[in-house]
Amino acid sequence: MWRTVLDKMLAKLVVTGRLGVTWPDGRITAYGPGGDLEAKVRLTEESIVRELGQRPVLALGEGYMDGRIDVSPEQLYPFMALLIRNQQSGAMPRWFDTVQALRGWTRGIEQRNNPLRSQKNVQHHYDISDDLYRLFLDEDMQYSCAYFARPDMTLEAAQAAKKDLIARKLRITPGMRVLDIGCGWGGMALTLARDYGARVVGVTLSENQLATAQARAEEAGLSDKVEFRLLDYRKVGETFDRIVSVGMLEHVGFPHLDSYFAKVDELLAEDGIALIHTIGHLSEPQPTSMWLDKYIFPGGYVPSLSEVSASVEKTGLWATDVEVLRGHYGPTLHHWRARFEAALPKVREMYDETFVRMWRFYLVACEATFEEMYQGVFHLQLAHRQDAVPVTRDYLSRGQGDDRMMQAAQ
C-alpha cells in the first residue's frame, strides 16, 4: 500500500530532472523526464517507505540519518536539489499542502519562545561544542551568510566583506555605543571595536559562545571596549547609538517579531541606526521544516519580507534601506560543507555516524534551499529619522568605509 502511495507521489512530484529509486525488494523505478539534475537513492527498509508516504519532510531527514535512505555523499546534494526544485514546480499531494497550511496557521502557538525556552533552544544548537564549529567556519567564526563581492573570494575574505558592509551601513564613528543582539562568538563586536573604534555590548544566550567571546576580547586587548553578557535581549535597558543583529532574528519566532522590533525601537537612540541581517523568504510565509525544527533549530522561524515589514510598520522606525542579498548564502554553505567533509576524521572522533549524517544533511539541505527556493538574506536598515543616513547609497563605497577604519585606528 505505502509503496503505491509513495510511487504516485513521486510520479506527480518529479516533473524536471530524473530520480532513480531502488526499493527495498531491489526493484528500480525512474521518475521524471531527465535533465541537468539526476540522482539515485536506495530505500533499505519498508518502514521508510511508509514514513515517507506519511510525513515526507521529517522522514526524509530521519531516514538519511539512520541509513534507511541510502545516498552517497556525492549524490546527496543533487538528490536534495532535485526534490526542492520539483517541490517548487511540481505538485505535492493535497493532504500535504493542507498540513503545511495548518502548520502555517498554528505557527503562533508552536513558536512561543519565552526567555527560558529561547535559552534552551540556543543551547540545543550552539552549546554542543565550539570545536565542531571551528572545523568548518572561517577563522573569525562567522556563522551567518558571507558577502561574496567576487565569486573567487575565500570564505575568510567574504566574511570580512560581510562585516565591512554592515559596518558601513551602520555609519559608525569612534566612541559610539553599539548593541550586538545575538553576538555569537564575538566576531562582529570585536571587529566594530578594533576597526571602527566603537564601544560594544554583545548579548547571547549561549554559555559556550559567551566564554569564547570573552576570551577572544581578552586576547585581542579589547576588554575595555567590548562587554559580552549572558542576557536575553528583551532584558536590555540601555540606549545605544547603533544596534546590529546578525542571524538572530531567525531564532525569535513568529509570535515575537512585533516585540523584537519594538525593542529595537526602544533601545535605539533618536539619531541612531540599526542593521538587522536575517534569512528571509521572498515568497509567502512558509512553516519551518519539521526536521530542521526537531534536530537543528528548535523554535526557529524564517520570516517572509511581508511579515518583517508588517512588524517594522508598527514601530516608530523608518526603513531607511532594505537590501536583499541573493546568491551569497548558497556559496557560504558550500564552503562550510566542503570544510566539514574535509574534517570528517576529526568530526568522527567527537561524534557518532548518526550525528555526522545529520550535520551533512543539514548543510546540504540548507545549501540546496538557498539555491532552489525564493530564500535570501535581508538587510534592514532602520532609524528614527529619515535623515539619519544619506538619501543615496553612495556612502557605501568602499573608500569611505576604509577612511572610517583609518580614523578609528589613529
Helix axes 2-13, 46-54, angle to 10 degrees: 60
| 44-47: Cβ within 8 A, 24+ apart | 44/68, 44/69, 44/70, 46/2, 46/3
Task: Report residue 200 CA to chain centroid gap.
Answer: 23
The DSSP secondary-structure symbol of 409 reads H
Residues acting as catalytic residues: 366
Q: Report the C-alpha gap between 400 and 395 in whole angstroms.
A: 7
Cell representation of residue 400: 569611505
Task: Report residue 106 CA to chain centroid gap.
Answer: 22
Residues 6+ apart with CB under 8 A from 90: 12, 13, 14, 15, 16
Q: Which helix (H) or strand (E) holds 201?
A: strand 199-204
In the three-class reduction of DSSP (H, G, I as helix; E, B as strand; rest coil), residue 12 is classed as helix
Q: Supply φ then ψ for residue 38, to 5 degrees.
A: -140, 140
| 282-285: Cβ within 8 A, 24+ apart | 282/324, 282/374, 282/375, 282/376, 283/373, 283/374, 285/104, 285/107
The DSSP secondary-structure symbol of 287 reads P
Q: What is the DSSP string of 342-366?
A: HTHHHHHHHS-HHHHHHHHHHHHHH
Q: Report the C-alpha gap between 356 and 347 in whole angstroms.
A: 7
Q: Report the C-alpha gap between 276 and 273 in whole angstroms.
A: 10
In terms of DSSP H, where are the helices of 127-248?
130-136, 155-170, 187-196, 207-220
